[in-house]
């Protein structure tokens, strides 16, 4: 693994800024990897052995992902939306899993570890570099059985929503009263009132000579009301035959 200083510079650059969260995240990742005996997780022979669960969507999470090389799309990074400054490092080969938590008291100890640094933010960053892992973190050994459907690798299951026809992968479909449903249909989504639109400027493809239109805003609004295509529940007059989406 590269040195702490090198990792910090590279992580801050990838994240967009250098902040105390980056220092904590880089160190959290270094400690996590040491705990599960992977000294260079982005190396070929180690990369498939690691899964990391982060419990917060903050600077620290980016640093942890950057240092370990785990990625959402490789299924090696899992996001658990707990709002807790912690990450769990799993060695898939040995089954060992360690949850590393950032301590709240480390913030209070900043003035003692970096009394020579004036500005609060700089002092915090410098202190986080100086205090040992035992003060910055607590570690728990945890049991973390991973469902086969969550492991890296090709898609192992596909199902189609019986209401809207959307294909759902990886066992993320719901079953409600015997019916298979996608999460938006089954329990509601993070968005509301989805209206299908047709946008004339969607003819661009890589390599095509068509330019993007400067302002498609007005035009998008016009075709919103293309009722012929919309099912009743979205304001249109028709019950459609569900379209089969294929990718």
Residue 143 interacting with another protein (CB under 8 A) = no
**Interacting stretch for another protein, rule CB under 8 A, among 56-64, 131-139, 166-174, 213-221?**
131-139
**Interacting stretch for another protein, rule CB under 8 A, among 25-33, 45-53, 104-112, 228-236?**
104-112
Residue 109 interacting with another protein (CB under 8 A) = yes
Q: Which of 138, 162, 174, 197 binds another protein (CB under 8 A)?
A: 138
How many other C-beta atoms lie within 10 A of the C-beta of residue 66? 23
Residue 116 interacting with another protein (CB under 8 A) = yes
Residue 141 interacting with another protein (CB under 8 A) = no
- E-assigned strand segments in 158-205: 158-160, 167-169, 174-176, 179-181
- The footprint of another protein on residues 55-74 (CB under 8 A) is none
Residue 16 interacting with another protein (CB under 8 A) = no
- 244 DSSP 8-state letter: P
What is the C-alpha to C-alpha distance for residues 30 and 65, in angstroms, rounded to an integer?
11
Query: Six-digit token pair at 66?
Result: 């950057």
Nearer to another protein, 107 or 158 (CB): 107
Q: Which of helix, strand or coil describes residue 126?
A: helix
Q: Which of 45, 81, 105, 143 binds another protein (CB under 8 A)?
A: 105
Query: Six-digit token pair at 207?
Result: 């390599």
Compute the half-sphere exposure of residue 195: CA atoms within 13 Å on the CB side of its CA. 16
Nearer to another protein, 11 or 124 (CB): 124
Closest CB 182 distance from another protein, rounded Å: 44
Q: 193-196 long-range contacts, Cβ below 8 Å, gap at least 24?
A: 193/234, 194/234, 195/224, 195/230, 195/234, 195/235, 196/229, 196/230, 196/234
Q: Which residues are near another protein by CB under 8 A? A: 105, 108-109, 112-113, 115-116, 130-132, 134-135, 138
């Amino acid at each position: 693994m590269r040195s702490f200083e090198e990792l910090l510079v590279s992580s801050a650059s990838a994240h967009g800024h250098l902040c105390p969260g980056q220092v904590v995240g880089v160190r959290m990742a270094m400690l996590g990897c040491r705990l599960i005996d992977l000294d260079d997780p982005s190396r070929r022979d180690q990369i498939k052995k690691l899964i990391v669960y982060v419990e917060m969507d903050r600077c620290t999470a980016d640093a942890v992902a950057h240092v370990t090389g785990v990625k959402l799309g490789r299924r090696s990074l899992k996001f658990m939306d707990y709002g807790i400054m912690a990450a769990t490092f799993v060695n898939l080969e040995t089954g060992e899993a360690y949850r590393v938590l950032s301590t709240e008291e480390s913030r209070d100890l900043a003035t003692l570890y970096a009394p020579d640094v004036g500005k609060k933010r700089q002092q915090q960053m410098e202190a986080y570099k100086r205090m040992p892992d035992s003060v910055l973190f607590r570690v728990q050994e945890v049991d973390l059985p991973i469902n086969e459907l969550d492991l890296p690798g090709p898609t192992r299951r596909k199902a189609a929503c019986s209401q809207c026809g959307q294909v759902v992968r990886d066992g993320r479909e719901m079953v409600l009263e015997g019916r298979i449903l996608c999460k938006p249909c089954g329990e509601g989504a993070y968005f509301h009132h989805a209206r299908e639109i047709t946008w004339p400027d969607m003819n661009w493809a890589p390599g095509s000579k068509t330019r993007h239109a400067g302002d498609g805003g007005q035009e998008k609004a016009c075709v919103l009301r293309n009722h012929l295509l919309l099912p009743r529940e979205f304001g249109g007059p028709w019950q459609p035959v569900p379209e089969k989406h294929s990718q």
